[in-house]
Amino acid sequence: MAPLRDPNTLSNYDQWRTKHTTANLKVDFTENCLRGSVVLELESQTDKASNEIILDSSFVSVSSIRLNSAISKWEVKDRSGPNGSPVHVSVPNGAGKGEVVKLEIELATTDKCTALQWLTPAQTSNKKAPFMFSQCQAIHARSIFPCQDTPDIKSTYDFIIQSPHAVVASGVPQPEATEEAGEDKIYKFQQKVPIPSYLFAVASGDMASAPIGRCSSVCTGPNELKASQWELKDDMDKFLDAAEKIVFPYQWGEYNVLVLPPSFPYGGMENPIFTFATPTIISGDRQNIDVIAHELAHSWSGNLVTSCSWEHFWLNEGWTVYLERRILASIHKNDAYLDFSAIIGWKHLEESIEDYGKDHEFTKLCISHKGIDPDDAFSTVPYEKGFHFIWSLDRLVGRENFDKFIPHYFGKWANKSLDSYEFKDTFLDFFSAPEYASLKDELSAIDWEGRFFNTGLPPKPEFNTELVDVCYKLAEKWKAKDFSPSPSDTSSWTGNQVLVFLNAVKDFEEPLTVEQSQNLGEVYGLTETRNVELKSAYYHIAMKAEDSSAYPGVAALLGNVGRMKFVRTLFRSLNKVDRELALKTFEKNRDFYHPICRQLVEKDLGLA
């Protein structure tokens, strides 16, 4: 039996492993719940040595469980902190090694479900229909149905979803199998590539779709469809071509993007077949679609090859950021774009580590998750610190050599999960081949333990500053109180160059004056831009300048955007300059925010 190596599951997945899952669920917009049955097909890992199956659950209402179609004895045990309430199902005679048993679980989600958000028609753009979407990462699938809720277990899926409105799920749509069911329709999806439970995804509402590439469509509200298609269609196939050239051909059939309502808490969620994406990427300037390059890269790192627990989450995100930046550099035919993006990322990493404190456990690459909710440890660290480790290995062995390792790694671990030490062994084993003998000294000098477990910032590389020097040069001019800006200062820049400039200004030891701050926003069009990345960065400068005329704009933005990247940092800054407005704004928008976002902002504001 493989050992249990995930502290965030209560399941006995060393004794039973889920091989296939069938989710037969009705979307009930009246009661705001999913109800129906889930069938788990579990393979015994012992020879009749285990007499019970233990599953993860959290606030799910379970009405019955049948074992191989027969009534079974089962019990939901007491809650165990963030890991939830384990469900124990008796298997009186056990099962022979390799034998598969079927559990059919009748269930309904409850109002305490942390994986689902239900929007009223008034909370959608065209206000015609309600909307529901899921977000199961990290350990929220267990609040939809009892399961082995660990990235160390992968299952194939059949989705059979009944709803009065259109449905998408993390499987390939089977449109020919759609059935009428009174006023509802039954939609079917199939996921033949085994995936962990956190990639279970479903959404339903008034949605329309349009093509954006040879195997890709965008799906969103009818009012947003045209703008979303325009934003994505020029680059989707370029991203896919670049990614396939770096790794190997895409394994999932379709790659689609669901642009969600604004309360979605992340930039994107890499649900297979349908990436769930924030509407902040639809900015009318094609400047924020790096998110799609990132989520597409997850089709290899994270989805195909997966970290075995949230303690090794950097393997998912560090690799994905690395591939994302390689994709963007490839499209621009200039490696300076990788450095440019890495410079922006380094800034985010510095801020994250400053917020935690350089000695904090959560600034390690490998974080102990015993007794904690993985959401509490979520930050930029696994993304950027993980990227820097992968990028350092690339530079150590040389790009030509590392490019041979990439498909080897993803091929060796495809459809499996691994930990940091298995990654280390894979890397060292590959480069132990005779043709890499000249690298022996460099490889032996890698401080693996330090990289995995040191707190604080990793070693800072020498960046190619070709694309940022002009940004810093303009920022320097703003240190003079009499500097007279012009729209032409930034008119030829990319959005990310403007962002680097704004971050440099935000870091001034002496903040801008109120007059300067207002001038900055007006002359460069930052108060009117649809680009939330830029507007948010500008508002941080305005709050640091204590320009109270900007505070209502901050509050308004916090009522229109649910992406935690912006919400949490804006609330922290607003709380410092006007706590009363921060609390009032949070209370006003409490129901607009996703449960995960709401819980974390409450902690940020000292309310939890």
What amino acid positions are annotated as catalytic residues? 295, 383
221-232 b/e with 16+ CB inside 10 Å = b?
beebbebbbebb
Using DSSP, state whether 16 is helix, strand or coil.
Answer: strand
Element (H, E) at 462: none
User: Going along 77-152, which residue ranges are E strands?
Assistant: 87-90, 100-109, 116-119, 131-134
How many CB atoms within 10 Å of residue 556? Answer: 11
Distances (CA, A) of 168 to 118, 155, 299, 479: 15, 19, 18, 50
| Contact between residue 514 and residue 550 where contact means Cβ atoms under 8 Å apart | no
Measured over the CA atoms of residue 249, residue 253, residue 255 and residue 261, the dihedral's sign is: negative
Q: What whole-number distance in Å separates Cα of residue 55 and Cα of residue 139?
A: 13
Q: What whole-number distance in Å separates Cα of residue 60 and Cα of residue 73?
A: 18
Residue 551: HSE in the Cβ half-sphere, 13 Å Cα cutoff: 20
Q: Strands 416-418 and 305-307, how do they pair?
A: parallel
The answer for residues whose C-beta is within 8 angstroms of residue 446's C-beta and 6 or more apart is 393, 396
- The amino acid sitting at 556 is A
Looking up tokens 């970290």 gives 307
Provide the β-strand partners of residue 23. 38, 159
The answer for residues whose C-beta is within 8 angstroms of residue 19's C-beta and 6 or more apart is 41, 42, 43, 100, 155, 156
Looking up tokens 């069911």 gives 181
Phi–psi pair at 457, nearest 5 degrees: -75, 145
DSSP per-residue letters across 169-184:
ESSEE-GGG-EEETTE
Residue length of the chain: 608
Smallest Cα–Cα separation from 151: which of 370, 415, 379? 415
Radius of gyration of the chain (CA): 24
Q: What whole-number distance in Å separates Cα of residue 485 and Cα of residue 521?
A: 11
Helices of type H across 234-378: 236-246, 290-297, 314-332, 336-356
Q: Strands 216-220 and 179-181, how do they pair?
A: unpaired
Q: What whole-number distance in Å separates Cα of residue 478 and Cα of residue 489?
A: 12
Q: What whole-number distance in Å separates Cα of residue 374 and Cα of residue 368?
A: 10
Looking up tokens 């709401």 gives 598
| Contact between residue 174 and residue 148 where contact means Cβ atoms under 8 Å apart | no
Q: What whole-number distance in Å separates Cα of residue 553 and Cα of residue 527?
A: 8
Element (H, E) at 607: none
How many CB atoms within 10 Å of residue 252? Answer: 19
The answer for residues whose C-beta is within 8 angstroms of residue 250's C-beta and 6 or more apart is 215, 240, 243, 244, 299
